Amino acid sequence: MAFSVESTAANLSTAANLSTAANFQRHGTATSFTSRMAKVPPAKVSSLAALWAKNYIISVTTRDEAERLRKSADLAEITSQEGRIRTANHLKQTLKLASAQAWSLTETLLSEEVRRHGIDLNVINPWQIAADSHALFEKALDAYGDRVTPRRLSVLVGGEFGRVRQKYTADDPRAIGFVSMQFHYTGQTLLESLSSAERLLLEPYFKVMDDHLYMPLRAAYEAAANHPVTSPPLRAVQHLLPISTRIAQEVCKQICRQHPSYETYSGSLSTPQVRTSSIRDVEMFQVYLCLCVLEDSIQSVQRELFPLCAMLYPRLNVSWRLVQEMLQAIGWEMHDRLSPNDVSLFLPYLGALNEMFSNEVFQSA
């Protein structure tokens, strides 16, 4: 995987405002998309939101894919303002059909899990999920058409995605699994109708959406606001977030090397689609670790992460052995990349995750 990012002193200095930034709202810019998003009063974006947004500088493509994009004959037309608007409008026209197809795939994947896990059908409202999906995809497509960067989009819509996530996790956190799969399949269906160059340009925007639905980013930002600037837990999280994507990429490479013939529900671990989803999942585990450290509690894992994984992973043919190896690899990467003081804050929660996802737990279930 290509390209790394480093945390800068300028970004970290904004942490001094965390204790007073109770509401993390959006900046406006001159573009039409961001001017529409800036109807709320402007406020300083938290340093954690900015640190997470830096992850979108890291390319989600391989070097070969980037080279093919550079050599694309119609690259200038596709990346022009007119070309981006044309692509966005095309996808908006197919969004309703893509959303319907996505829900059919989501039902096929998870309908049996509703019965098996005793999930209340009242918390799974397909019409509301489709409506929320449609509205948020339109915002992402508007951003793409207006040439808003994925990094900027992450900051602009993070609060809104956080509210949608909070709505679906309020009664039964497993409901977010249905919402996330709906978004995932909608995005995949939309991308299939594009040229390879257009897909490479749009994938980072859809990754922003995936990240904010799968991960408790808003909860982490709110928890960070309760810490003083000198708080060791806050410092540890600030050090981990900017390198979390690189850690995820390295962990996935290791797991792929160890299991070259492993097949998931969507294909082998080395396929681009599975690789992207795997990287996102490793990032998700790291964000939950950050939330645990900031809240000084394992509750978010017990309430959200573990039930969601227990529902999704067996259906997606992700073995608990893979999860255990992933957690071990995360631990070693953190050991190699963070200071001993930072690592010591994450270790108790990483140990708790290892225990929760151990063979003993699932063999006795």
- Read off the pLDDT band of 45 (50, 70, 90): very low
pLDDT exceeds cutoff 90 at 62: no
Q: How confident is the model at residue 78 (pLDDT cuts 50, 70, 90)?
A: confident
Mean pLDDT, the chain, whole residue set: 82
What single string gives the DSSP state of each residue in 149-175? -HHHHHHHHHHHHHHHHHHHHSS-TTH
The average pLDDT across 258-272 equals 93
- Cα separations (Å) of 293 from 23, 238, 337, 350, 353? 21, 11, 17, 10, 13
Report the amino acid identity of residue 24.
F
Cα(292)–Cα(299) distance, integer angstroms? 8
The CA-based dihedral angle spanning residues 132, 147, 188, 316, taken in that order and rounded to the nearest 10 degrees: -80
- Per the model's pLDDT, the better-predicted residue between 5 and 134 turns out to be 134
- Between the alpha carbon of residue 197 and those of residues 9, 135, 202, the distances in Å are 35, 25, 9
Which residues pair with residue 263 across a beta bridge? 268
* 335, two tokens: 């050991």
pLDDT band for position 52 (50/70/90)?
A: confident
pLDDT tops 60 at residue 338: yes
Beta-bridge partner residues of 268: 263
pLDDT, tens digit, 9 for 90 and up, residues 193-222:
998 889 989 999 999 998 898 899 999 999
Q: Give the C-alpha separation, 109 to 124, whole Å.
A: 14
Look at residue 98 in the predicted model and tell me its pLDDT: 94
What's phi and psi for 182, nearest 5 deg? -60, -45
CB within 8 Å of 156: residues ≥ 6 apart: 26, 27, 33, 34, 37, 143, 148
Whole-model pTM: value is 0.81
Q: Which of 51-55, 200-204, 230-234, 339-343 has the lowest mean pLDDT?
A: 51-55
Q: Select the more confidently predicted residue: 60 or 186.
A: 186
pLDDT at 354 > cutoff 60: yes
Mean pLDDT calculated for residue range 67-76? 61
Angstrom distance (rounded) from CA 37 to CA 289: 30
pLDDT at 101: 93
Q: What is the rounded CA–CA span in Å between residue 345 and residue 364?
A: 30
In the predicted structure, residue 136 carries a pLDDT above the cut 70:
yes
Give the closest residue to 248 by CA, choosing from 279, 214, 212, 207: 279
What is the helix, strand, coil percentage profile of the chain, to 5?
Answer: 75, 0, 25
